[in-house]
Structure 1
């Protein structure tokens, strides 16, 4: 990361030269440039190759994007990957094995794909509703029923007994938040939570949802201090997970 493209260019050149000295080579097809609103776009070259400027890219298995609604693409990607995992196991879900075994396969093989990296998401009702709609569609496919059968969602869940995806995501995020708050090794993950952006005029419109907003609603503005008490944090976590699981 750099504050100017000139600095970034120097850093990349240094990385390329250092790589060559130990027999390594940068993969230019996987090296991309992403800029925020404070930097004017301009070509960035490493050697005689101009790097591609993108507005999003997949890094460590998760779509990275700047600006508002920066998790929309990742949610869409998670849904797509979830259906791909479901499709590979469709022969199991369409078989005559007991429903409890189908649910176990679903919870252990499909839900983890759809919730990967969810600890870092800024949760909103819109995002989680999209995931819940997808899960209900998969549960109907497991049961061999359709929307035309007009079976209520709570009855479908009673039959499948699958883990609610919103509850799973909320639980993962709550556990991760407590883990970060209790760290004492000075790693950057804790420092990022306390970082305040540069001063300036706020953009027009409703401010984007921040990662900590939903945590503050349950644990208060001093949630990092509350997280030091593990038993208290676990008890609050149940209320936190329930508020998201109760969505439509």
Structure 2
């Protein structure tokens, strides 16, 4: 947008104000319409409805001198019930928008089947990038293991845990994250699998708790945050949306985030009544690192 200085801390805010003013009469409630800076997400139950929304936004923006980017617009269809057939045709400026199976936005991944495989892989790769950039310190035998552990917990582990509070985690995902972490810890302590040293011993040396337990802690912390929000908060809208007429496909039901939270609370023997007690909740959910 002409006139907005790139790099200024006020630029995103000013741009958001302008977009809100120009489109206030066509915006829908989340999650059917979501705006973030200069990015727009439009969601609908049918392709026809989505095409109508896209055309409405195009006309509204062009009437004010703005234009949707054809090359930066992507389309994803999540057909969980496998009931909608026909070609995927979403049109913008007379051209079909390409369909994507995996969509990356900022540091998050969305898959059309609702899985998190790409997200898990990306978090592991990010963790290794952080670890390798500091390998000169983490693998130095002259540095105490407890100091290596502190560095790992402050720089590497947060990179791997980013966004995990929203995952519907399966055992496979926790296993992959755990395998990556224990490989890092072995290198940090100067051991290999041939040394036949138990993983628990390596963790005690660097004082690092299993990453799957820290993922559980993150999920429960985020769960309490959501539960305390008002019913009209955007963060709650996705959990409340119910699409009528959707039939579940055959086979084992997909693991939901809510079901994952229920398992976490069952393991820790806590219930939703504790959510209102901040002190008690914070006492029950932390996973302490080994002493």
> Is the aligned partner of 1:10 residue 2:57?
no
- What is the 5 A alignment of 1:10-89? 10-37=52-79, 38-40=83-85, 41-67=87-113, 70-89=115-134
Could you tell me how far apart the structure 2 residues matched to 1:63 and 1:211 are?
Answer: 16
Aligned to 1:228: 276
Cα displacement string for residues 158-197 of structure 1 (whole angstroms, at most 9, x for unaligned residues): 1111243112211111011011111126113224334444
Aligned to 1:158: 204
Give the alignment's TM-score, normalised by structure 2. 0.72
Could you tell me how far apart the structure 2 residues matched to 1:170 and 1:46 are?
Answer: 42
Could you tell me how far apart the structure 1 residues matched to 2:245 and 2:203 are?
Answer: 48
Aligned to 2:259: 213
Q: CA deviation at 1:156?
A: 0.5
Larger % of helix: which? 1
Could you tell me how far apart the structure 1 residues matched to 2:175 and 2:134 are?
Answer: 24
Could you tell me how far apart the structure 2 residues matched to 1:211 and 1:160 are?
Answer: 31
Give the alignment's TM-score, normalised by structure 1. 0.84
Q: CA deviation at 1:11?
A: 1.9
The answer to whether the Cα contact below 8 Å between 1:215 and 1:223 also exists between their aligned partners in 2 is no
Where in structure 1 are there 5+ consecutive unaligned residues?
A: none
Bigger radius of gyration: 2
Aligned to 1:187: 233
Q: 1:191 to 1:226 in 2, by over 3 A?
A: farther
Q: CA deviation at 1:198?
A: 2.9
- What is the 5 A alignment of 1:64-143? 64-67=110-113, 70-95=115-140, 96-143=142-189
Q: 1:24 to 1:102 in 2, by over 3 A?
A: farther
The answer to whether the Cα contact below 8 Å between 2:70 and 2:93 also exists between their aligned partners in 1 is no
Count of residues in correspondence between the two structures: 239
Where in structure 2 are there 5+ consecutive unaligned residues?
A: 1-42
2:276 is paired with a residue whose SS is coil
The alignment's C-alpha RMSD in Å is: 2.6
